[in-house]
Amino acid sequence: MNKILCAGDFFVLPELFENAIRERLPLHDLEFTQIKTQWPMEPFRDIDGVSEASGSVSELIEKLQGVEIAATHLAPFSAEVFKNSPDLKMIGVCRGGPVNIDVKAATEAGVLISYAPGRNAQAAAEFAIALMLAAMRRITRGNTDLHKGIWRGDFYSYEKTGIEVYGSTIGLIGYGAIGKIVAKILIAMGARVIVFDPFTDKALMSADGVEAVELDYLLKNSNVVSLHARLTPDSQHILNAENMKLLPEGAVIVNSARGGLMDYAPLPDLLRSGRIGALALDVYDVEPPPSDWPLFGIENVVLAPHLAGATKQTAWRAANIIGDEIKLFLDGKTPQYVANKEVLSTLSLGK
């Protein structure tokens, strides 16, 4: 019998994990136990040395006794957890990367870590386009004021009208799974799409109909800039006070990727000066932003509470990717998305 912990929350429900695993392994003798953390009712946070986590280390350790496999979304798999979970052999974390897992401690404990790239790519891409349109066409401002009984006829004056996607040059910083979908949608809408991504082959971009450019060129020539890069030490504040001055007057910036990709401090001045014409955000340097956050109340700022990946399809897809990974593991095969491949030699998995 294999004992499996399904550590979900109010988005990726524990039962989604269990159902996905049962469907794939109907003939296996499986015993399930569950944890349901409070995310997103409570924000995720750093817990015991791991990032973007939710739940209790002590409860997790208690539930992991005798457990060989764990499926999780945000549970805090810290070094302390691995130290006190001797039966654990594999964790499937249904995120684009195992940020809430101490991968070094897992590797030292001989625990394989699998993850779920692309689980929210379609949802995040669609949301980025929605933010872009909301900022370019003043949709949210018009909605807010009309609810207050204010008819914004002034938005039809030439100086306040928006801009169209068709014919615009739109710059994407990052060309991973999400960026590729965003580009495809924008090209279909008639935009010229330019991309800065030093890690993607330029021939591949060209075949997709986008132009590979350097960052300074992108900033100087884009009517809209949308961020889709991973947050790394090299990409931290890839948009900053100095290079945002390169933007053409009235440019629109969209960030639905990671708050750390931008320096938020200069944004109020850039908005007031008109260098940035509109700003659309789903992620922040501090989440949630404090009540005195300087961007609150500025008319040409569109805000969302980190909702880009929030679709039922994302939760279902995430659980099913991990279900596939666990099936491979229990069938003695190598999972497709392994974060610590050095563990494979100790597990003697087949191909």
Catalytic residue positions? Answer: 258, 287, 306
C-alpha span between 297 and 320 (Å, rounded) = 41
- Write out the two tokens for 280: 């659309």
| 105 alpha carbon, distance to own chain's centre | 24
Is the four-CA dihedral 341, 229, 48, 10 of positive or negative sign? negative
Tell me 289's DSSP state.
P
C-alpha span between 48 and 215 (Å, rounded) = 37
Closest CA to 110 of 350, 351, 348: 348
Q: What angle do CA 196, 198, 199 make, to 5 degrees?
A: 120
Half-sphere exposure of 129 (CA within 13 A, CB side): 19
Length of the chain: 351
Specify the pairing of strand 30-36 against strand 45-47.
unpaired
| 258 alpha carbon, distance to own chain's centre | 7
Q: At what angle do helices 312-330 and 121-137 cross, to 10 degrees?
A: 160
